[in-house]
Structure 1
Amino acid sequence: MAASSSRGAAAAAVDDDDEPYLLGFIISKIVGMRYYRGKVHGRETVGLVRQPLNRYDNNAIAVFNARNDQVGHLPGALAAVLAPLLDSHLLAAAQGIVPRSGSKINPNAYSLPCQVHLFARPAAASVVEAALHEAGIDLIHVDHPEFALSQAAAVMEQFKKPDRDRDVDKLFSLVGKEGKNQTQPMDPPGDVVLSELFGHQKEALGWMVHREESADLPPFWQEGEDGGFENVLTNQKTEKRPPPLKGGIFADDMGLGKTLTLLSLIGRTKARNVGAKKARGGKRRKVEDGGEGSRTTLVVCPPSVFSSWVTQLEEHLKAGSLKVYMYHGERTRDKKELLKYDLVLTTYSILGTEFEQEDSPVKDIEWFRVILDEAHVIKNSAARQTKAVIALNAERRWVVTGTPIQNSSFDLYPLMAFLRFQPFSIKSYWQSLIQRPLEKGSKAGLSRLQNLLGAISLRRIKEMDDGNKSMVELPSKTVLACYIDLSAEEREYYDQMEQEGRNKMQEFGDRDSILSNYSTVLYFILRLRQLCDDVALCPLDMKAWFPASSIEDVSKHPELLKKLALLVDDGDDFDCPICLSPPTKTVITSCTHIYCQTCILKILKSSSSRCPICRRTLSKEDLFLAPEVKHPDEDGSGNLESDRPLSSKEDADLAGSAPQKGRL
């Protein structure tokens, strides 16, 4: 736990290149211990918390043990120097460690030695060092000969002896070894799930049930000879048995049926709950206070997969077997109502919106289980929706994603924070033990990450072999390349977008800033790909770049507008004479003939740019965009999308992209 300013919410997120680093440590002590009941056992990391509203000292920095009990506070002279640095965010964090002592700690001691480790961003390091020097405080920095005396885990590892009993990498290698093969495949509850599960889905269900119902100690915890419990990584000690880590990371590859496996897990909860009620004489469970019998599962997913959950529920579950509530759109604010359901579906955006709302029922409920589907959405730990899901209260927590790491290993940190997997849910521990060794290319960092994920995650891919059989029996993939010519309109849009991109690239090149603007380059590439699919995919803000204004509006030419009105009054058929279909994006020529915009532009780009009816020579200046013309026999009840022309890609798909037409 690290000290931070009480105004920490105002601190802006920083780029990874500006991440805080260990500046050094100060040898100090914890004082005032006789006034508090909290105790420290052996070497232990302690939290330093600013207390600007302390009535005795507005520079106060309190010290809390790993069980969040206050132990004492830092000496006033040291606090007077560190407090302004923390409040102004020049110091990113301060972490306290009570060093290991050769003798047992006196429980009645008035003070204890403490190493205060200071973390600062590179830009603020010199300011912090100058402030400490001016105050006469000795900072033991990285190059100091006594730096090896630091009890921080990362520093101890750096200066460790090869034969140390508590080798950090050895601790990681032992994680998850016990009970690794205790899981057995499990069938779903037949009275809830109608579909038959594949073998790998049954294995996953068995693994998830074991993770939820096992009473094993969390990783890195051991039971001592005196009956107490110790975290061998942080040296935290407690007399109370730490609760098991109920949940984990379900990271099967896309297409292996994770959703059905999760529904089977939820269905098993419902089936067992119903059985328990029958055993108790059929008494109805109480849900008013979310207490005994509250078995509601909250599933959080992006809007794009919301409908997929609904489809899976309809296809694989017995109708009415699960009570499902869609916490989306118009929704209840009554938590008692939500607790009546077996499954509540919502989205990350809704949780982010309600994060700061005091009357949000989702925040107040103690959920039986929370499942984060497509959990890589919360890879940004500073995002509001990430903070919202981490703050959820739940007995069991599951992270579900086929791509747990998208950009870097730091994407995993928010997942650890959601799972409440200590100490890796604390950013400083994750960075010192996992992130920094990985960034330095250390094999130890990779080995630790593999051992850590192996203890709490399940990952299979379709190509994985089980004996002589693949994970899922699928036919071999066939790739058929179909080359399609863009329409004249699509080509014009594409060329305009490409030219804009080239101009931007030239501008960045002239300023030697291409690398710092790489996201803009990727943005243009994405838009070009979208234009190849369908012009309609391009966002509105980009369409301002398109040459739509190159065709003048007919409203500025009363004689042509009058001719168009006469055609409508006469009830003339408005079929385009080129494609013989009702025109889309109607264009009227200076010779008063009506065409589709796409059709007439294609004619203008040909060798004979003449009006197909009167053979008059035409240019783009002779074309005028007409207002939407409604066909006389239309009643307006058709599909809103029916007026949109098919893209070249859609047209080729509907035509079958037949090889005999030479479109391979």
Structure 2
Amino acid sequence: MEPADTFTLQLRGYQKQALLWMHSLEMNAESARQQKSIHPLWKEYAFPLDPNQETIDLTTDEQPFYYNEFSGELSLEFPVAERKFKGVGMGKTIMLSALIQTAREPEPPSLRNGEDAPSKRHKQLRLDNTFRLSAKKPKTSKGPSATLIVAPTSLLSQWSEELQRSSKPGTLKVLVWHGQNRLDLESAVAQDDGVDVVITSYGTLVSEFMKSEQLSSPVFESVILDEAHSCKSRQSKTARAVCALRARRRWAVTGTPIVNRLEDLYSLLKFLDFTPWSDYTFFRSVVTLPFLDRDPKAIEVVQVILEAVLLRREKHMRDSDGKMIVELPPKEVTVENLEFSPLERKIYDSLYTDAKKNFENWNEKGVVSKHYTSILAMLMRLRRAVLHPSLVLSSIANEIKPEGSGSVDVNAMIKSFVSGDSLDGKGNAFAKDVLNSLGQDENVECPICFDVMDSPMIIPGCLHKCCKDCIAAFLESCADKKEEGRCPICSYAPVRESDLLEVLRSKAAEDLSPGVASSITLRRNDFRSSTKLDALLQNLRRLRDQDPTFRAVVFSQFTTYLDLIQTALERERFEWYRFDGSMDIKKRGEAVSRFKSPSSQPKVLIVSLKAGGVGLNISNTIEGRILQIQKRKTAIVKEAFGGKGGTDSIENLKIMFGDE
């Protein structure tokens, strides 16, 4: 089926099929309700043979009859279940936009008092003294024509942008009904030139519902729930609010109709008013209780229900010609295993030992079931320790954030040494030669490991150079021996790890202005990193060397770790953008838009898993590479970069430890 003329995008084949199915259901077409599966409450039986019949004709077809064991009904007609529910996995925003524009005819006019049709009983007319009729004619208004879309807060701007992008200018009026200064919804919809689509969040809907335990919203032509599993709990305020909405047509869009329990499906059936399953007592007696009793029939009933009401598209499906229904860019999954540093190993082992000891004590007392919350808290603590020790040790939390970017002016240091005012009070030619040769000496050996220094570190007092890992390990060994930190070459003391200067060489020094300061940068080592964070930065540098315009998305469940990543990106001079729950809709939209905009510089988007875990559309024409910090992000990455069906490759990097 082709969409309306106002729809400007090109639908794929499977999207046109979905549009035909949805539009047929809304128009009550019989073709959309054809179904071969029997209703789950009915059973099929065959009439018994006549025992007095001497011969049996095997060529005749048996005539079945159907019995409903719950109501006791008998029927000769094949009982089917009506379809009402839709859950899609790809391009749902575009398909629903096509549906909204294809079925925009309002319902017939109705009376203002809410009646569906004019009453046949007319009110008696009254005549005044001049015999003029004074009876007022009933006021009529147009039927509902607006569509309400309820979505998570992070998707409101995306819905608005996609609806405007997929329609001709001026043909679809969209209102984002969210925030403190939102307009009166009923007046905005009731006007002759009112809005066509209203987009709001679940939080706003619940806020309006809790004011009077009911919604005074107008009647909508359609209500669409995006990420409909947000109302999975039937007793939640969200579920009660969406069920109180008034609409002629209802659509629930979700990739996970069942999240944690089988009963999660009930809230969706309740919203769709899919009788008899919208009755909780009936649903519990037919589905929930048999399932808890391990009755296999419960699964059969659920399967038939989903077959009757569910339309699903998956990326691995193929069309009638054997081709993939959607071509996704190739994805390369790389798993990088790391080893803890000695300090990180001590911290992690200490936390693990304490957690194991507590669990064993609870297990001996038989009270493990009473400490589920504490067990989960200990597991989360171990997960944070893998990312960065500062996330679990408050004593060093204040030591990890440097002041500014930590850069040191090389020319200023040279002038300081030449003038005789060096850090140790000894201005000499050696210091000047060391600083002047930083940009030229690229294959200098470390005096500790005798290998080429990848990340040279300068000791300010004596200006000797060592590998970053070597000098850090040497200073740590001094601390273990309760000795003062010193230079491993000349024994200059005291030396602290935060006093060291890191040498950063520019990869494009030939394109810069001549001079040492143009090719190298000195940076204070006042930021305490971690093994996993160093691995992330190393891969980002590698991507920048391979493609100066690359895009990367970094996910993390912990916003405190995003703070550390943000600081590290600033020190590495990466252009970064943030997307988390503390940002309002406008700032989130700006961050995604700026990240997607073309640029000759690399960009990194750091995303909170909770805020960006649903529907985040960051598809880009430039090659997208995903740096995945934690596990279980594959589905999110597919949705993020598969939204528009790009053609470039995706690199999915998992940075893990052996203990994870």
The structure whose RCO (Cα within 8 Å, separation 6+) is larger is 2
The normalised TM-score by structure 2 is 0.49
The normalised TM-score by structure 1 is 0.49
